[in-house]
Amino acid sequence: MGSAQILGWEFSSDGTLRPTTRRLWKVRLAILHVLKSGRISGQQLERVIGHMLFISMVRREGLSILGDCYTFIQRHYYSPAKLWKSVRRELTIWYGIAPLLWKDLTAEWSSTIYATDASDWGSGVTTSTMDIQQVQHLGRYAERWRFKDDRWRNPRRSSPSLFSADEADDVVAHGWDQQHDDAEDRLPNRSGVQFQPLPFSAVDRSWKVVGRWKWLRQESMPILEARATLFAVKHMVRSSSNFGKRMLVFSDSMTAVSSISRGRAHARGLR
């Protein structure tokens, strides 16, 4: 089997999803034109950004690049203006990573899991192992789904720490016996999001510290928590055995987790 193209996307027989070459280069050439001209209205830039955002949805990390572009669009929506240095930088970075915006839909989960935490003083990263079936189950839920489910909308009240080990395990145990490669299992139920919290058994295990350090400067806690997660990612890519795999990371910062899963944030530090 070869590949199929639809709506500017290419689905390959090996399970990869990427924008078509034609679509990608149209956007990259548009960016080059904007950078060369040096002046543009916010309305015109908005159209270019729209195409960039559509492509970035396949790898939401690409969304984190853009920030000042939105401010420029708002301030100069109807009249052309000289591109800000920061806007040129964001467009240039996105142009450079554009060929990397693709996804392997068949990527397997790793049995190695990470847990990160941070304080005003410092941060740390630990690793452990988990049964692949449990990793698959936990990894298919997006933390942001909790806000569409009345049972778990309040993170503090629904914290697993309020449950005993048996009670917390009962919350999700029924899901571990299901088939986890079903595409529908990765999406929220249209009749009501079936979010499930992290069970106590997921963290009740032996952990190995792989990194800990003091902060060189003070920042807000969500940013410090996100930096801890970034260290975990850097630690992952040190091992070739993790290449091409999906990795499960635990964090106790709702803001950091939500920002990372969305791929974007208002705060520059989080981006």
Which pLDDT tens digit goes with each residue over 65-104? 999 999 999 999 999 999 999 999 999 999 999 999 999 9
pLDDT grade, residue 165 (50/70/90)? very low
C-alpha span between 182 and 106 (Å, rounded): 12
pLDDT grade, residue 194 (50/70/90)? confident
C-alpha span between 231 and 218 (Å, rounded): 17
Q: In this predicted structure, what is the pLDDT of residue 225?
A: 95
DSSP-based three-state secondary structure for 105: coil
Residue 142, amino acid: A
Question: Does residue 148 register a pLDDT over 50?
Answer: yes
Q: What is the rounded (10 degree) CA torsion for 49, 52, 57, 61?
A: -90
Q: What is the pLDDT of residues 244-271, one digit of tens each?
A: 999 999 999 989 998 988 888 888 888 8
C-alpha span between 45 and 70 (Å, rounded): 9
- What sign does the dihedral 145-151-157-163 (CA atoms) show? negative
- What sign does the dihedral 92-96-99-104 (CA atoms) show? negative
Residue 244's φ and ψ, nearest 5 degrees, are 75, 10
Instruction: Outline where DSSP puts E strands in the chain.
Output: 3-6, 9-12, 16-19, 39-40, 81-82, 103-104, 109-118, 122-129, 208-214, 246-251
> Average pLDDT, stretch 180-202?
58
Among 17-21, 46-50, 140-144, which is the least confidently predicted range?
140-144
C-alpha span between 119 and 253 (Å, rounded): 11
Q: In this predicted structure, what is the pLDDT of residue 154?
A: 77
> Average pLDDT, stretch 108-130?
96
State the average pLDDT for the chain: 86
Q: What is the model's pTM?
A: 0.79
Q: In this predicted structure, what is the pLDDT of residue 248?
A: 95
DSSP-based three-state secondary structure for 169: helix
Q: E strand or H helix at 87, and its extent?
A: helix 85-97
Question: Does residue 162 register a pLDDT over 70?
Answer: no
> Average pLDDT, stretch 122-134?
95
